[in-house]
Amino acid sequence: MNDRGTRVLRLDALARVEGEAALHLRVAGDSVAETRLRIYEPPRFFEAFLIGRGHTEPPDITARICGICPVAYQMSACQAIENACGVTVDGPLAELRRLLYCGEWIESHTLHIYLLHAPDFLGRADVVELARDQRAVVERGLRIKQTGNAILEQLGGRPIHPVNVRVGGFYRTPGREELRPLEERLRQAREDALETVRWVATFDFPDVVCDHDLFALRDPGRYAIDSGTPAVMAAQGQGPALREFNLAEFEQHIREGQVPHSTARTSALDGRRYLTGPLARYAINGRWLHPVATEAAREAGLGDPLTGAVCQNPFRSIVVRAVEVVQAIEEALRIISRYERPPRPAVEVPPRQAAGTGATEAPRGLLYHRYALTEDGTLTEARIIPPTAQNQTAIEEDVRKAVQARLETAGPPADDEELTHVCERAIRNHDPCISCAAHFLDVTVERT
């Protein structure tokens, strides 16, 4: 390695990141000169694709943006349309939506924890290597994930790209008896999820603190999933501890810009870099975790969420995700235990000429939709701001810091292979979703 010269690392594809992304890193001497994360982002294609469609179509169309979090797209889309039409869906229908969303959190988080992220901490190349010597552990992960799948299948009508969701509610709602088998699976999943929290808490975490502003929905009284008000917790010493703004003002605060190196737009929150996702949710909503999840968080060393504990170490996001799986399972059990079949599967949502916004907490962070409709419900505008695009700048900064820290470490200098691994780990902490992408595993490293 030439320690003093300039070298360029180019990861043409990142292994174990969903979909496609590439990273360009330029190292000059002992410092990182440039970090450019390139994301091939599909929601922009969908924004154009939606124009001219009817107001009942966005939930089905946008569900196709992501195979891992279709429910998030459906829920944000439904809310935005209903908001435009002046309709509120509440009561048992809203609870059923939340249950469906819990299913997605369970399966999406568990996929990331077990199949993508844990191998980083255990020195395994991937989950296949992990499964060869810790079979029971991987089986436990698959069990939890399949419970999430079962919720999706029951409420969504099929295991991928649910078809039972519509603007105003569902096409069909289940009877109490139909949800009962899920209860048993969820109880087993709760034990598995608590084991997961204990397991990931034993991992070895680099001592890193990120200083991004944190951004999540806030839903006083409960841990935000499918509703809430946008809230910002400023990085230490950078502003008020917590502030909120109306969802209608979202695009006044979140400004998107374009950078030449990525098809995804980058976002700034009132001009500053920010992070959305599990760390932000935990910081802003931690006090409203279920008691079982609260205790799990305490035991896992995340601090006491009841006193507003904040986790700023992106490597510990795997622990926060594990706690959120417990939370989603507890919430799913609570909803099922109180469920009464609503009198009708959906409320009417007659169109009107208006614009509306919707935002929910996708597993990877806040997902915002805005639509404008004509009188007959034809869409004239569609805006989708997904969490990965919002996090892009924060991820770049984390990568820069991680590589810089390695370059400053005493001992043998890092070769390109090791730096590549450092970058991939820093990126996987955030579980970026570059959805609907084709996934090529070739990785190229270039030096100059």
User: 123: phi > 0 → left, psi -120 to 50 → alpha, else beta; which?
Assistant: left
Q: Which stretch binds other proteins (CB under 8 A): 28-36, 122-130, 301-309, 414-422?
A: 122-130
Residue found by looking up tokens 């292979």 in the block: 417
Q: Which residues contact 172 (CB under 8 A, 6 or more apart)?
A: 157, 164, 345
Burial of residue 112, with CB atoms counted within 10 A of its CB: 0-12 exposed, 13-18 middle, 19 or more buried: buried
Beta strands in 105-170 (DSSP E): 165-166, 169-170
For the chain, give the number of residues: 448
List the Cα angle 288/108/104 in 5-degree steps: 65
Least Å from the CB of residue 47 to other proteins: 12
Least Å distance, CB 365 to other proteins, is 18
439 labelled binding-site residue: yes
Q: Which of 36, 53, 64, 124 binds other proteins (CB under 8 A)?
A: 64
Nearer to other proteins, 61 or 310 (CB): 61
- Restricting to residues 295-324, which ones interact with other proteins according to CB under 8 A? none
* Closest residue by Cα to residue 250 from 230, 234, 232: 230
Residue 244 CB, shortest distance to other proteins, in Å, is: 34
Tokens coding 3: 């320690």
Residues 361-390 that bind other proteins (CB under 8 A): none
Residue 132 in contact with other proteins, rule: CB under 8 A: yes
Question: Looking up tokens 């900064």, which residue turns up?
Answer: 397
- Using CB under 8 A as the binding rule, whether residue 437 contacts other proteins is answered as yes
Residue 436 is assigned to a ligand binding site: yes
DSSP state of 211: -
424 in contact with other proteins (CB under 8 A):
no
Q: Establish if 138 lies at the interface with other proteins (CB under 8 A).
A: yes
Using alpha carbons, select from 229, 257, 261 the residue that is nearest to residue 368: 229
> Encoding tokens for residue 198?
């204990």
CA atoms within 13 A on the CB side of 192: 25
What is the per-residue binding string for other proteins in 90-119, x denoting contact by CB under 8 A?
Answer: -----------------x---x---xx---
Taking CB under 8 A as the rule, which mask of x and - marks residues 7-46 in contact with other proteins?
---------xxxx----------------------x--x-
DSSP-derived letter for residue 387 is H
When asked if residue 1 is in the footprint of other proteins (CB under 8 A), the reply is no
Kindly indicate which of the ranges 78-86, 141-149, 171-179, 190-198 contains the residues binding other proteins, using the contact rule CB under 8 A: 141-149
Residues in contact with other proteins by the rule CB under 8 A: 16-19, 42, 45, 49, 64, 67-68, 107, 111, 115-116, 126-128, 131-132, 135, 138-139, 142, 145-146, 149, 159-160, 436-442
The annotated binding site is made up of 47, 66, 69, 384, 433, 436, 439
